[in-house]
Amino acid sequence: MLPLLAGCTTNGQKPEPPNRQNLTLVRPSDVARLLPEETSLRRQYHPPLPRAGRVAPDSRVAYEAIPNMSYADNSLDDNLAGSIELADYYTMAVKAGWQRWLQGGGPYTVLAMPNQQIEALSRSWPGQGMLDPVNHQRLKFFIGQTILVGKWTPHHLRKELATPEARRAGGVIQTRTLTGEPVSLRLLPGDVIQISNREGSLRIGRRGYKQSNGVFYVTDRELY
């Protein structure tokens, strides 16, 4: 059975923020995974140029980032907030007003983008980019499109595909984003998840980061 579409827009109505996740119901876990390596600091490093016969003091070590971890018994909000490489995405999610959903019981599937992709997209927006007040509604829609209702891992998709409804639908699972837009999910060989909407599709072949209220994937493409 598909999860209830709690907290997403329907018929143009404004979504109601969900309650925060009840932490007393979260099962403790000792599962932790390294988050994607922060690359923007590395890009800032340039070999020092000789100056007056001397080498300017500059060290590659100064541009190394401390590894970040994602903990399976923490929420989407906690783990995304702790990722340096996803800092821009998290900032945009908060500015767009979706943080309460990341803190809620969910479950949700988040398609998070690294800093480099968010920064490139922001430069293509008018004015001061994504954080410009004139772009707030566009930002809200954009980030809302990256958050799907339901926890969609290959394991959960296989369970859903075993239902008569999914078989009648030809192996396609239907859900929605937080903006209320319909999304189709299909499990491809090799545990690749294909996510499609009316604008296009993307494929996720990497293992997701399990969360207490869902799962998130890191992708360099937007479902927009």
Question: Tens digit of pLDDT for each residue in 120-172?
Answer: 999 999 998 999 999 999 999 999 999 999 999 999 999 888 888 877 778 88
Percentage of residues in the chain having pLDDT higher than 70: 68
Interhelix angle 87-95/136-144, rounded to 10 degrees, is 120
12 pLDDT above the threshold of 50: no
Helices and strands per DSSP (H, E), number in the chain? 8, 12
Contact by Cβ (8 Å): 85, 35: yes
Greatest alpha-carbon span in the chain: 76
Distance, in Å, from the CA atom of 106 to the CA atom of 109, rounded to the nearest integer, reads 9
- Entry pTM: 0.76
Contact by Cβ (8 Å): 94, 53: no
Distance, in Å, from the CA atom of 115 to the CA atom of 220, rounded to the nearest integer, reads 10
- Give the domain ranges of the chain: 32-45+59-218
Question: 41 or 71: which carries more pLDDT confidence?
Answer: 71
Beta 69-71 vs 209-211: how paired, if at all?
A: unpaired
Range in 35-49, 90-104, 196-210 with the lowest mean pLDDT: 35-49
The partner residues of 199 in beta bridges, in order of sequence, read: none
Secondary structure of residue 138 in the 3-state scheme:
helix
Candidates 158, 156, 207, 152; CA nearest to 33 is 207
Q: How many CA atoms are closer than 13 Å to the CA of 112, on its beta-carbon side? A: 32
10 pLDDT above the threshold of 70: no
Q: 11 CB contacts (<8 Å, ≥6 apart)? A: 180
Give domain 32-45+59-218's CATH superfamily. Answer: FAS1 domain (2.30.180.10)
3 pLDDT above the threshold of 50: no
